[in-house]
Structure 1
């Protein structure tokens, strides 16, 4: 068992927090092989200085969009199981995602008890239904209420989607509402549209200022893209990719390298616009596919962007 180390670290706005995002192995992977997959991941991460891992709870999002999923959907092993495995092997904190819509309040309450007592989960992010279509057994708001009534001191985070701010203009208000419901940090969807993120963070900072509260930490997610198929998947997930950005990647002799340069440029734009807003920031780097070259590129991207944020934070303290 461990208390949330991240809760203490996240409270210091003058330092970044740095994560690697991953998904549990597919459900049909023999449980005996899952430990070796975790070892392989952690061996890849030995060359970088990261604060923790994020384990996603993958859900079937076909109800959200009419287009077919570029990569077939497959259920994965329990996010709690993989989180505990990675924590035990690495001794690093792990943020565990949980999709809440498939269970009713009683089932979700049991999930929370087991997460805390059996799997030593302390840091969680709750995710609602991908769309209003289909059966929703538990809304995100009801899940937050169930968690509040549970009296276990989870370090709770929420998801933020800059693309929603483009279309609805109210994502900053969603963040504030989630804070009232207990969220202490936020993790973004993968960033390919710098301006959408800048608009959201600026609105959020101004909303916090008008209410006399300090902004919560926002962890920005970046992901490499090395092929047209990966780009198709990124867009299928609802991630906003400006036309010029997608053309730069697709027309490049080295699409993967081009995507890293784009991500670094996007991040620098965001930092220039948003560091003066006094929002504590963090980084999460993920690979959206199992392609070895994209996984290796994610490690390089982590190094590039961590160095960028560390430098900008140091400069801001001069």
Structure 2
């Protein structure tokens, strides 16, 4: 089970990530969407399903958002109301800055430690207006549901600029995080640099390493590529050239993502660093969702 794998600090965890449907979606359409998602995933031996809690992030960058922000259903509600027949653990993201203390307390009270996990996400920028800070959310979680397994977000690209992503991770471990999920990975060398510093810092302080789950996401169009860059995903110049000039950008991105995973897996295995992967599609186009499923199949067959 996923909970045991995380507690035992095992490698090889495989997750799949989705964004809940738009809040304005009609109930009959929700049934159709959830049924399709369940059918798509139930044949795979995945360890868990991530349900994202998206936020606008307009304060993070002045650049125009390539795809408009549309509010989605609450991930915990969608999980329980529409995905309960998918018998795998659900990892519920919560962007804590948009919730009141009472709202987050309600979720933490209702979440079952036996089949739910959570990832608490802080503000996307220092200028974002928030109602609850990440440290306050961590404290609230400890008070209300100490047994609920909690993860954190890590951004390897941030390590390239600041060189301290590994210490951020260890600080979150000290606050109760038992695993981490990365932002989408295309810059494999930056991720390896982060893993290296994570490994040696843990050795130096004699702190056991927790699983790092690297997110892989296919790119099916130039607009999706633009959106990924807007989200802060670092794409090396050579790789961007290959994608933009490819006759089949989607298939090439799937193959590159698989190569990145194999390279990270090889690097981590040599050092005994527990890592896993999370497959997602940042776009809702059917071909890109199907490509994410192809990537999931490739990863689970290794």
Counterpart residue number, 1:200: 194
C-alpha separation in 2, matches of 1:19 and 1:27: 24
**Correspondent of 1:128 among 122, 140, 145:** 122
Residue 56 of structure 1 corresponds to which residue in structure 2?
Answer: 52
Q: CA deviation at 1:198?
A: 0.4
Answer yes or no: is the 8 Å Cα contact 1:87–1:94 preserved in 2: no
Corresponding residue SS for 1:184 = strand
Aligned counterparts of 1:15 and 1:79: Cα–Cα separation in 2:
26
Correspondence for 1:239 among 233, 240, 245: 233
Verify: 1:101 aligned to 2:101, yes or no.
no
Contact map agreement 1:80 1:121 (CA 8 A) in 2: no
Pair 1:262-2:256 in alignment = yes
User: Does the 8 A contact of 1:55 with 1:79 survive in 2?
Assistant: yes
Count of residue correspondences: 302
Q: Which residue of 2 aligns with 1:43?
A: 39
Task: Specify the SS of the correspondent of 2:84.
Answer: helix
Matched, 1:145 2:139: yes
Residue aligned with 1:111, SS: helix
Maintained 8 Å contact 1:144/1:181:
yes
Q: What value does the CA root-mean-square deviation take over the aligned residues?
A: 1.7
- Residue 174 (structure 1) aligned to one of 155, 168, 171: 168
| CA displacement 1:186-244 (0-9 Å, x = unmatched) | 00111000011101111111111111121001111100001100100000000000011
Indicate if the aligned counterparts of 1:223 and 1:288 stay in contact, CA closer than 8 A. yes
Deviation readout 1:263-296 (Å, 9 max, x if unpaired)? 1221222122222221211111001111111111
SS at match of 2:218: coil
- The 2-side partners of 1:214 and 1:21 are apart by 26
Specify every segment of 5 or more residues in structure 2 that has no aligned partner in the other structure, as ranges.
Answer: none
Distance 1:44-1:203 versus aligned 2 partners, 3 A rule = same
Q: 2:106 is paired with a residue of what secondary structure?
A: helix
Shift of 1:36: 2.1
TM-score, with structure 2 as normaliser: 0.95
Tell me if the contact between 1:172 and 1:200 (Cα under 8 Å) persists in the aligned partners. yes
